[in-house]
Structure 1
Amino acid sequence: MIRPRKDPRKNPRELDELAVVSGASSGIGAATAQALAAMGYHVLAGVRTDSEADTVRADGIEPVTLDITVPEHIQALARRIADDPERRVLRVLVNNAGIEINAPVEVLPLALWREQFEVNLFGHIAVIQALLPFLRRSRGRIVNISSVGGVAALPVFGAYAGTKFALEAASDSLRREVSAHGVQVVVVQPGGVRTEMAARSGDVSLEIAAGMSAEHRRLYSGLIDATVSSNTAFLERAVPAAKAGARIARVATTPRPRARYTLGTDAAFIIPLARFLPARLMDGILAMSHRSRKPKTAPTPAPESTGSPS
């Protein structure tokens, strides 16, 4: 284990340790970066644009260009850690980057299925593969941000939930592979959190629905409208991003972490139900939930289309 050298001139809250947070431009990622910086970590905050970098830059937060689907960005991050001018060790990796594009399984184009898996699963695996050597040296920790959707797949969320189910499985394997090396792997399963991505997801669903064929509109428009309406109403009382980030930072630094943590009352309620109730009973509960939620506004008529958008 590398023992970081202490500098007596440093602020006593500063640590000789690095933390990496992907998807740190806003929402949960930005809040997690801020919370870790407040604990004294030097946070390498993954962003995609210069404007995002300007937004997140702060004491203890260094923005780095990181699209986790771009190998050159990941390689540059690894070099930044290896060449750290203060020889700080990497103690924490929070894999938070993600996208959410929801539509019925039959309707969502395969290109959008693949895009979500590239970001929500394969990108995280690429970052883990590149940074594990640093975490082995420090006996550090990986925190993978999953979702309630990684345990309970709601209608219209098939692709997004699929990526999170896969991340859950990969996290289990990884935890069992690297525990003997001193590296800890923890999964956080948020429910509803008030973020820009969550707020946009309903609009994206409606945009996809607008391009559906007449037959798909007949089959799915009611389900999509009810799902969007339900999620929009729920987000009004969801966990604030700042609270979620503070919770994740505590999970990332607690001395003896559990393998999994839920985040939010909905996750704490839904996940046990999904694990222990018979699948058909869970289907009925979800169906009743959607029937009880009426859209606040009438759906926008969609133009005629010969099929799903590409």
Structure 2
Amino acid sequence: MIRPRKDPRKNPRGPDELAVVSGASSGIGAATAQALAAKGYHVLAGVRTASEADAVRADRIEPVTLDITVPEHVQALARRIADDPERRVLRVLVNNAGIEINAPVEVLPLALWREQFEVNLFGHIAVIQALLPFLRRSRGRIVNISSVGGVAALPVFGAYAGTKFALEAASDSLRREVSAHGVQVVVVQPGGVRTEMAARSGAVSLELAAGMSAEHQRLYGDLIDATVSSNTAFLERAVPAAKAGAKIAKVATTPRPRARYTLGTDAAFVIPLARFLPARVMDGVLAMSHRSRTTNTAPTPAPESTGSPS
């Protein structure tokens, strides 16, 4: 009897295949690298410093210097894959690197808008362009880490949300462009996840607010304080990074992935509302949620964290 030929996309993992995770020094990225290594991948974990490399190095996890905004780093990563001593294929790319700097649209300097787009969007595109030839050969998978903020933009989160909206759109186009080549593109939309980036975001917002003009203080000071307080309270109940990483690794290896996955109960609740409610109604829902958080919980120091409810 002639057996039908297996579709490689239905078996996305083989022993000792390569996976790349950017932004793997801590938080979601480090947890995802660990989860993929536990599944049998040899993970090239993107880090920026020698100390970060020492922290993430482990069995099946090989740190690589990767600032995704530096072309030489991206080119070196491609060469590392091409010259793999064991001739392993690249099966999975997880685009996770990111930064979050929050302030009102009027207040945030253009340089900080551009910096966020360089890291959260253009850097990922650079990595995708460099690694797509490898993924075509393996019929592999790209997992782009977006955010609830890629669907619903909270006040003060405009620049960060803008980068994620753009990543969502680029992911849709890419998925439709490469599906015929056997490459799958999946978006993961986390809500609040306890990571270092999220923990820092409130402090950065308050630091930027302290440098605002008196007029901007009058216009936005209370809003920024309330937003930071709300975000801090929310993160106390957020998803642990290890749980987020385990889900992303599962998404990266499931035989028949969906185009999008939410991560966390807040994402599962907010994203459908944002897609189907009229904009003015959604404004009211977010405003009520914001008020309930700030009235029920006093501001406290942010826990260690890197997702955000935006």
Same-fold status (TM-score > 0.5): yes
Which residue in the other structure is 2:277 paired with?
277
Conserved? CA contact 1:185–1:259, under 8 Å: yes
Which residue in the other structure is 1:136 paired with?
136
TM superposition shift of 1:74 = 0.3
Q: 1:41/1:155 Cα in 2 relative to 1: closer, same or farther (>3 Å)?
A: same
TM superposition shift of 1:288 = 2.2
User: What count of residue pairs does the alignment treat as equivalent?
Assistant: 310
1:108-151 CA-partner distances (Å, limit 9, x unpaired): 00000000000000000000000000000000000000000000
- Matched position secondary structure for 1:91: strand
Conserved? CA contact 1:121–1:163, under 8 Å: yes
TM superposition shift of 1:290 = 2.7
Q: 1:39/1:277 Cα in 2 relative to 1: closer, same or farther (>3 Å)?
A: same
Which residue in the other structure is 1:187 paired with?
187
**TM-score, normalisation: structure 1:** 0.91
Q: 1:108/1:20 Cα in 2 relative to 1: closer, same or farther (>3 Å)?
A: same
Which residue in the other structure is 1:16 paired with?
16
Q: 1:27/1:306 Cα in 2 relative to 1: closer, same or farther (>3 Å)?
A: closer
Identity %: 94
- Matched position secondary structure for 2:296: coil
Moved more, 68-77 or 289-298: 289-298
Moved more, 221-230 or 64-73: 221-230
User: Aligned partners of 1:64, 1:104: CA distance in 2, in Å?
Assistant: 35
User: Aligned partners of 1:178, 1:305: CA distance in 2, in Å?
Assistant: 34
Which residue in the other structure is 1:297 paired with?
297
Conserved? CA contact 1:194–1:235, under 8 Å: yes
Q: 1:250/1:301 Cα in 2 relative to 1: closer, same or farther (>3 Å)?
A: closer
Q: 1:209/1:306 Cα in 2 relative to 1: closer, same or farther (>3 Å)?
A: farther
User: Aligned partners of 2:11, 2:233: CA distance in 1, in Å?
Assistant: 44
User: Aligned partners of 2:42, 2:104: CA distance in 1, in Å?
Assistant: 42
User: Aligned partners of 1:243, 1:307: CA distance in 2, in Å?
Assistant: 13
TM superposition shift of 1:300 = 13
Q: 1:9/1:201 Cα in 2 relative to 1: closer, same or farther (>3 Å)?
A: closer
Moved more, 7-16 or 199-208: 7-16
- Matched position secondary structure for 2:232: helix
1:64-115 CA-partner distances (Å, limit 9, x unpaired): 0000000000000000000000000000000000000000000000000000
Instruction: Show structure 1 runs of 5+ residues with no match.
Output: none
TM superposition shift of 1:214 = 0.5
Conserved? CA contact 2:266–2:309, under 8 Å: no
TM superposition shift of 1:287 = 1.8
- Matched position secondary structure for 2:302: coil
User: Aligned partners of 1:15, 1:307: CA distance in 2, in Å?
Assistant: 31
- Matched position secondary structure for 2:94: strand
Q: 1:3/1:147 Cα in 2 relative to 1: closer, same or farther (>3 Å)?
A: farther
Conserved? CA contact 1:136–1:183, under 8 Å: yes
User: Aligned partners of 2:9, 2:258: CA distance in 1, in Å?
Assistant: 35
Conserved? CA contact 2:101–2:201, under 8 Å: yes
User: Aligned partners of 1:166, 1:283: CA distance in 2, in Å?
Assistant: 21
Conserved? CA contact 2:198–2:307, under 8 Å: no
Q: 1:290/1:16 Cα in 2 relative to 1: closer, same or farther (>3 Å)?
A: closer
Q: 1:298/1:38 Cα in 2 relative to 1: closer, same or farther (>3 Å)?
A: closer
- Matched position secondary structure for 1:93: strand
TM superposition shift of 1:165 = 0.1
Conserved? CA contact 2:144–2:188, under 8 Å: yes
Q: 1:224/1:17 Cα in 2 relative to 1: closer, same or farther (>3 Å)?
A: same
- Matched position secondary structure for 2:185: strand
User: Aligned partners of 1:239, 1:10: CA distance in 2, in Å?
Assistant: 29
User: Aligned partners of 1:176, 1:190: CA distance in 2, in Å?
Assistant: 23
TM superposition shift of 1:291 = 2.9
TM superposition shift of 1:306 = 32
Task: Return the structure number with greater relative CO, CA threshold 8 A, min gap 6.
Answer: 2
**TM-score, normalisation: structure 2:** 0.91
TM superposition shift of 1:284 = 1.2
- 1:58 maps to 2:41: no
